[in-house]
């Protein structure tokens, strides 16, 4: 999870969409929403980057996120007239008034949770908010063993963009360390901003994500009361395993009975 507060969190939210343009995933989510929605719930909707495209396609959608700064951007993009309800909640224990046909977690949202217990808590809440036969769509990173074995020092990726006020924003993403036992990566996101008047800003955001391999995700979903329906390797609906892919996208259907009771605690493993 991101550990940004104050002005750092505000700037990060303001610049999020600019630095996420490369994903080119929104058509995919709109297509799935058209086929399996509505209503749709987006878990970890952030700035509304995906939400606004689904709403614009005329599909009923609600969203929630734990970041008030990102939700502020989403509310600007999705004013009350859009009919989209946005909530500030934690995906480990959310409770919303509605029930949904499709719950989606675009762009690696489930990986924000460190432990298996937390992921089970989230998927149990997802299940509670789905109508019978409803579906969950999870878009995760497909962990590559060769990439995970690389020296973190070689991982830095730098992107530069021009912001809305003409400021030059340089974003550096790097892996600080990896923990193979807990299947987590400790990352750092750095923003260096240079304004037209010469003013500069520097923000460092620590970030931790976890990763799951394909069969782990399948087993986790089965344990939480879902049956796998599709596994894709990319946003063109290519089947998973066809060529090298960074994406692991699973569509699963809510079954009549959850196999695993909800965990009581959030210990490191379960």
Ligand X SMILES: C[S@@+](CC[C@H](N)C(=O)[O-])C[C@H]1O[C@@H](n2cnc3c(N)ncnc32)[C@H](O)[C@@H]1O
Q: Which residue, 92 or 171, is less far from ligand X as judged by CB?
A: 92
Transcribe 80-107 into DSSP letters.
Answer: GGG---EEE--TTS---S--EEEEEE-S
What are the φ and ψ backbone dihedral angles of 220, each rounded to 5 degrees? -60, -45
- CA–CA distance, 24 with 156 (Å, rounded to integer): 22
The site for ligand X, by CB under 6 A, has a size of 19
Reduce the DSSP state of residue 48 to 3 states and report it: coil
Which string of x and - marks every residue 14-53 that binds ligand X (by CB under 6 A)? ------x-----------------------xxx--xx---
Stretch binding ligand X (CB under 6 A), from 62-70, 141-149, 181-189, 190-198: 62-70
Q: What angle do CA 232, 91, 224 make, to 5 degrees?
A: 60
Q: Which is nearer to ligand X, 66 or 255 (CB)?
A: 66
Which lies closer to ligand X via its Cβ, residue 53 or residue 194? 53
**Residue 4 or 252 with smaller CB distance to ligand X:** 4
User: Quick one: 14 or 133, whose CB is closer to ligand X?
Assistant: 14
Q: What does the alpha-carbon distance between residue 65 and residue 21 come to, in Å, rounded to a whole number?
A: 20
Alpha helices by DSSP H, 57-168: 68-77, 116-128, 145-148
- Site residues (CB under 6 A) for ligand X, limited to 78-107: 90-92, 106-107
DSSP string, 217-244: HHHHHHHTTEEEEEEESSTT-PBTTSS-
CB-based contacts of 184, cutoff 8 Å, min separation 6: 114, 178, 208, 209, 210, 211
Rule CB under 6 A: is residue 1 a binding residue for ligand X? yes
Query: Shortest distance, CB of residue 9 to ligand X, whole angstroms?
Result: 9
Q: How far is the CB of 108 from ligand X (least distance, A)?
A: 5
Q: Is 67 in the site for ligand X (CB under 6 A)?
A: yes
Considering the rule CB under 6 A, would residue 247 count as an interface residue with ligand X?
A: no
Q: Does residue 65 bind ligand X (CB under 6 A)?
A: yes
Secondary element (H or E) of residue 172: strand 168-179
Nearer Cβ to ligand X, position 173 or 201? 173
Residues in touch with ligand X (CB under 6 A): 1, 20, 44-46, 49-50, 65-67, 70, 90-92, 106-109, 112
């Amino acid at each position: 999870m991101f550990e940004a507060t104050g002005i750092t969190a505000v700037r990060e939210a303001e610049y999020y969409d600019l630095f996420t343009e490369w994903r080119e995933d929104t058509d995919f989510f709109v297509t799935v929403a058209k086929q399996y929605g509505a209503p749709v719930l987006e878990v970890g909707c952030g700035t509304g980057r995906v939400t606004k495209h689904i709403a614009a396609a005329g599909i009923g959608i609600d969203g929630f996120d734990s970041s008030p700064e990102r939700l502020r951007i989403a509310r600007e993009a999705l004013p009350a007239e859009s009919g989209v309800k946005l909530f500030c909640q934690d995906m480990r224990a959310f409770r919303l008034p509605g029930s949904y046909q499709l719950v989606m977690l675009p762009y690696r949202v489930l990986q924000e949770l460190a432990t298996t217990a937390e992921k089970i808590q989230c998927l149990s809440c997802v299940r509670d908010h789905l109508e019978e036969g409803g579906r969950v769509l999870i878009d995760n990173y497909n962990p590559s063993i060769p990439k995970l074995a690389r020296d973190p020092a070689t991982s830095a990726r730098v992107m530069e963009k021009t912001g809305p006020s003409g400021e030059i924003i340089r974003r550096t993403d790097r892996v600080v360390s990896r923990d193979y036992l807990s299947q987590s990566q400790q990352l750092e996101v750095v923003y260096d901003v240079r304004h037209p008047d010469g003013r500069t800003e520097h923000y460092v955001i620590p970030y931790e994500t976890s990763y799951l391999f394909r069969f782990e995700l399948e087993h986790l979903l089965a344990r939480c009361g879902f049956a796998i329906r599709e596994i894709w390797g990319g946003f063109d609906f290519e089947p998973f395993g066809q060529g090298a892919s960074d994406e692991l996208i699973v569509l699963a259907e809510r079954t009549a009975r959850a196999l695993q009771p909800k965990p009581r605690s959030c210990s490191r493993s379960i």
